Amino acid sequence: MEMFSPPHPGEIIREDCLAPLGLSVTAAADGLGVSRQSLSELLNGRTGVSADMALRLEMAGWSTAESWLRNQLTFDLWRAKQHAGRLKVTRFPTPSAFGV
Protein backbone atom coordinates (compact mmCIF):
# COMPACT_ATOMS: atom_id res chain seq x y z
CA MET A 1 0.00 0.00 0.00
CA GLU A 2 1.35 3.41 -0.98
CA MET A 3 1.92 5.91 1.80
CA PHE A 4 -0.08 9.11 1.50
CA SER A 5 2.18 12.15 1.47
CA PRO A 6 5.41 10.64 2.80
CA PRO A 7 7.62 13.03 4.74
CA HIS A 8 10.68 14.53 3.10
CA PRO A 9 13.81 12.84 4.54
CA GLY A 10 14.96 16.23 5.82
CA GLU A 11 11.89 16.34 8.06
CA ILE A 12 12.77 12.89 9.41
CA ILE A 13 16.34 13.99 10.11
CA ARG A 14 15.16 17.12 11.90
CA GLU A 15 12.46 15.37 13.98
CA ASP A 16 14.07 11.99 14.71
CA CYS A 17 17.80 12.72 14.72
CA LEU A 18 18.51 16.33 15.63
CA ALA A 19 15.60 17.17 17.95
CA PRO A 20 16.02 14.26 20.43
CA LEU A 21 19.70 15.14 20.84
CA GLY A 22 19.07 18.87 21.03
CA LEU A 23 21.47 19.39 18.11
CA SER A 24 21.50 22.67 16.27
CA VAL A 25 21.84 22.70 12.50
CA THR A 26 25.36 24.07 12.91
CA ALA A 27 26.42 21.35 15.36
CA ALA A 28 24.87 18.59 13.25
CA ALA A 29 26.52 19.94 10.08
CA ASP A 30 29.89 20.03 11.82
CA GLY A 31 29.41 16.46 13.04
CA LEU A 32 28.43 15.25 9.58
CA GLY A 33 31.29 17.11 7.92
CA VAL A 34 29.07 19.23 5.67
CA SER A 35 28.33 22.94 5.48
CA ARG A 36 25.54 24.42 7.54
CA GLN A 37 23.90 25.62 4.33
CA SER A 38 23.99 22.14 2.81
CA LEU A 39 22.32 20.56 5.83
CA SER A 40 19.82 23.41 6.14
CA GLU A 41 18.75 22.96 2.52
CA LEU A 42 18.18 19.24 3.15
CA LEU A 43 16.28 19.84 6.40
CA ASN A 44 14.04 22.38 4.67
CA GLY A 45 13.27 20.09 1.73
CA ARG A 46 15.11 22.13 -0.90
CA THR A 47 17.51 19.27 -1.65
CA GLY A 48 17.34 15.53 -1.23
CA VAL A 49 19.50 12.90 0.44
CA SER A 50 22.44 12.07 -1.83
CA ALA A 51 24.40 8.83 -1.60
CA ASP A 52 27.19 10.77 0.11
CA MET A 53 24.83 12.24 2.69
CA ALA A 54 23.20 8.84 3.23
CA LEU A 55 26.63 7.41 4.11
CA ARG A 56 27.34 10.32 6.45
CA LEU A 57 24.01 9.77 8.22
CA GLU A 58 24.77 6.06 8.57
CA MET A 59 28.25 6.79 9.93
CA ALA A 60 26.67 9.13 12.48
CA GLY A 61 24.59 6.18 13.70
CA TRP A 62 21.31 7.33 12.21
CA SER A 63 19.96 4.27 10.37
CA THR A 64 21.47 2.82 7.20
CA ALA A 65 22.46 4.54 3.99
CA GLU A 66 20.06 2.25 2.15
CA SER A 67 17.12 3.30 4.31
CA TRP A 68 17.87 7.01 3.75
CA LEU A 69 18.06 6.49 0.00
CA ARG A 70 14.85 4.43 0.10
CA ASN A 71 13.11 7.25 2.00
CA GLN A 72 14.30 9.75 -0.61
CA LEU A 73 13.16 7.53 -3.48
CA THR A 74 9.75 7.02 -1.87
CA PHE A 75 9.32 10.78 -1.46
CA ASP A 76 10.52 11.57 -5.00
CA LEU A 77 8.27 8.94 -6.58
CA TRP A 78 5.24 10.09 -4.57
CA ARG A 79 5.86 13.68 -5.67
CA ALA A 80 6.29 12.62 -9.33
CA LYS A 81 3.01 10.69 -9.19
CA GLN A 82 1.24 13.85 -8.02
CA HIS A 83 2.17 15.42 -11.36
CA ALA A 84 1.83 12.33 -13.57
CA GLY A 85 -1.37 13.68 -15.14
CA ARG A 86 0.66 16.36 -16.90
CA LEU A 87 2.93 13.85 -18.62
CA LYS A 88 2.43 13.19 -22.31
CA VAL A 89 3.57 9.62 -22.98
CA THR A 90 2.78 7.22 -25.79
CA ARG A 91 2.20 3.66 -24.64
CA PHE A 92 4.16 1.17 -26.72
CA PRO A 93 3.47 -2.53 -27.20
CA THR A 94 5.37 -4.70 -24.75
CA PRO A 95 8.24 -6.47 -26.54
CA SER A 96 7.99 -10.25 -26.36
CA ALA A 97 11.51 -10.30 -24.94
CA PHE A 98 10.03 -9.15 -21.63
CA GLY A 99 7.79 -12.22 -21.57
CA VAL A 100 4.73 -10.21 -20.61
pLDDT of 3: 55
d(CA 92, CA 59): 44
81 SS3 class: helix
Long-range contacts, 83-87 (Cβ 8 Å, 24+): none
Q: Name the pTM for this structure.
A: 0.85
pLDDT of 96: 77
d(CA 11, CA 5): 12
Walking along the chain (100 residues) 10 residues at a time, the average pLDDT comes out as 82 98 98 98 98 98 98 96 90 76
* Residue range 9-72, CATH number: 1.10.260.40
Domain boundaries, the chain: 9-72
pLDDT of 10: 98
